[in-house]
Amino acid sequence: MDGNGRWAKQRHLPRAVGHQRGVEAVRTLSRAARAMGLEALTLYAFSTENWRRPEDEVSALMGLLKRFIQSDLDEFIRDNVRLKIIGQWRALAPDIVELIEDALAKTAANTGPALVVALNYGSQDEIARAAAKAAAKGPITPASIEAELDTADLPPLDLLIRTSGEVRLSNFLLWQAAYAEMWFTDVLWPDFKPAHLEAALEQFGQRERRYGGR
Q: How far is the CB of 17 from ligand IPE (least distance, A)?
A: 11
Q: Is 74 a catalytic residue?
A: no
Of the candidates 64, 192, 176, 55, the one whose C-alpha atom is nearest the C-alpha of residue 121 is: 176
Indicate which single residue of 14, 17, 32, 50 sits in contact with ligand IPE (rule: CB under 6 A).
50
| Residue count, binding to Mg ion (CB under 5 A) | 1
Q: How far is the CB of 171 from ligand IPE (least distance, A)?
A: 13
Cα–Cα distances in Å, from 93 out to 29, 42, 173, 180, 199? 27, 22, 24, 33, 38
Q: Is 56 a catalytic residue?
A: no
Q: Does 45 bind ligand IPE (CB under 6 A)?
A: yes
How many Cβ atoms are within 10 Å of 166's Cβ, its own excluded?
A: 12
Identity of residue 17: V
* Of residues 56-115, those binding ligand IPE (CB under 6 A): none
Distance CA(172)–CA(118), nearest Å, equals 9
* Of residues 2-41, those binding Mg ion (CB under 5 A): 2
Distance CA(202)–CA(111), nearest Å, equals 26
Residues of this chain that interact with Mg ion (CB under 5 A) are: 2
Indicate which residues carry an active-site annotation.
2, 50
Binding site for ligand IPE (CB under 6 A): 1-6, 22, 45-46, 50, 164
